[in-house]
Amino acid sequence: MLLSKLFNTKYLAYELFLNDELSDLYVPHILNKKTNTEIKESITSKNTAVKLLTIVCDMPSYLQIQSANTNKKLGQLNIKQYKGFLVNLSNHSTVTSYMDTHLSKRNKKNLFSKQRKLELNHQIRYEVFTGIMEKKEYDYIFEVFYNLLKERFKEKKIYNRYLPKWSALQASSYEKIVNKKASLHVIFDKDKPISITLNYHLADITFSHIQAYDINYSNYNLGDISIYKQLEWCILNDKTIFDLSIGKTDYKSKWCNETYVLNYHIFYKKHIVLPVMLAYATKMELLTKQFLRDKTFIGNKWSIDKIKYRLN
């Protein structure tokens, strides 16, 4: 967004799932509409001063969050943007039940065949780290995590936004894992991590944040095996929504049974001409970009991350 660069942009999905924070532009009472579950975790209200306008990005449509705009001095525009993907496990008590309902016989057969071959050819173990975790082991896994992600995106020739900020991510995630606000899902070959996923947890929601796997094991479809094991963990730990966020991929299309919309909310001072003009101009910019995404011009024919990779 060209215009939004001038203003204070907040990313709600990251603040809420990663930091238990919510802009004070909203009332801190959140409902998961998919499961009718009130999120009772302690949510920190983050001060968001609106000088001209503020854009809150990535508001998941399955969360009911009300605006705190009681003084009526602020206007609000809501714009639909990206499509998100999730697994809703509401009607399933086992991962087998979900797979029988959603996956084809061919997909299930292929998954278990690949898993058997992986376990036959290698010394495989599956670990989930949440709660107690040795810092030394955490640092080792995060070091491998970084290298796996770097190699994977080098192979794809796509820029990855997390790699430049990896030290900060590593520093902040350990405490969340110890406090069970996050988890690391790791597939090991002996003592070597070959698949790593970092997830965050909020009430009955698991938010899948970053995934990486060893490209030398590509023949085993580690992405499918990893999701299978994560869904198994979600059901055992009363996590009903497994949110895979934006970005359509083959494995998301295969595994997810529902989609949702990530909305942008523009708050602006509605009694001053300049912010009103800026707000509606920004709305038009966002609508234009989404139109181009829907036509697959942005994200397919023209990818910003691919261009960034070439420039680096």
- Digit-coded pLDDT (tens) for 127-137: 999 998 999 99
Q: Which of 220, 224, 228, 198 is nearest to 211 (CA)?
A: 198
User: Residue 218 sits in which domain range?
Assistant: 91-239
> What pLDDT is stored for residue 309 in this prediction?
41
* 69 and 122 belong to one structural domain: no
* 98 and 71 belong to one structural domain: no
* 274 and 187 belong to one structural domain: no
Report percent pLDDT > 70 for the chain.
Answer: 90
- Tell whether 230 is covered by a domain: yes
- Tell whether 251 is covered by a domain: no
Which of 181, 204, 239 is a domain's end point?
A: 239
> What pLDDT is stored for residue 67 in this prediction?
87
Q: Are 53 and 76 in contact (CB under 8 A)?
A: no
* pLDDT tens sequence across 263-312: 999 999 988 999 999 999 999 999 998 888 777 766 554 455 554 545 56
* 146 and 74 belong to one structural domain: no
* 71 and 179 belong to one structural domain: no
* 50 and 170 belong to one structural domain: no
Q: Which of 22, 67, 77, 61 is nearest to 286 (CA)?
A: 77
- Tell whether 249 is covered by a domain: no
- Tell whether 252 is covered by a domain: no
* 216 and 155 belong to one structural domain: yes
* 208 and 98 belong to one structural domain: yes
Which of 239, 269, 284 is a domain's end point?
A: 239
Q: Looking at the 3D structure of the chain, how many domains does it have?
A: 2
Using 70 as the pLDDT threshold, list the residues of the chain that sit under it: 1-11, 13, 70-71, 297-312
Q: What CATH number did the domain enclosing 200 receive?
A: 3.40.630
- Tell whether 28 is covered by a domain: yes
- Tell whether 246 is covered by a domain: no
* 138 and 214 belong to one structural domain: yes
* 188 and 106 belong to one structural domain: yes
In the 3-class helix/strand/coil scheme, how is the chain assigned residue by residue? CCHHHHCEEEEHHHHHHHHCEEECCEEEEEEECCCCEEECCCCEEECCCCCCEEEEEEEECCEEEEECCCCCCEEEEEEEEEEEEEEECCCCCCHHHHHHHHCCHHHHHHHHHHHHHHHHHCCEEEEEECCCCCHHHHHHHHHHHHHHHHHHHHHHCCCCCCHHHHHHHHHHHHHHHHCCCEEEEEEEECCEEEEEEEEEEECCEEEEEEEEECHHHHHHCHHHHHHHHHHHHHHHCCCCEEEEEECCCHHHHHHCCEEEEEEEEEEEECCCHHHHHHHHHHHHHHHHHHHHHHCCCECCCECHHHHHHHHC
- Tell whether 254 is covered by a domain: no
* 62 and 95 belong to one structural domain: no
Which of 185, 204, 239 is a domain's end point?
A: 239
> What pLDDT is stored for residue 21 in this prediction?
87
- Tell whether 245 is covered by a domain: no
* 38 and 138 belong to one structural domain: no
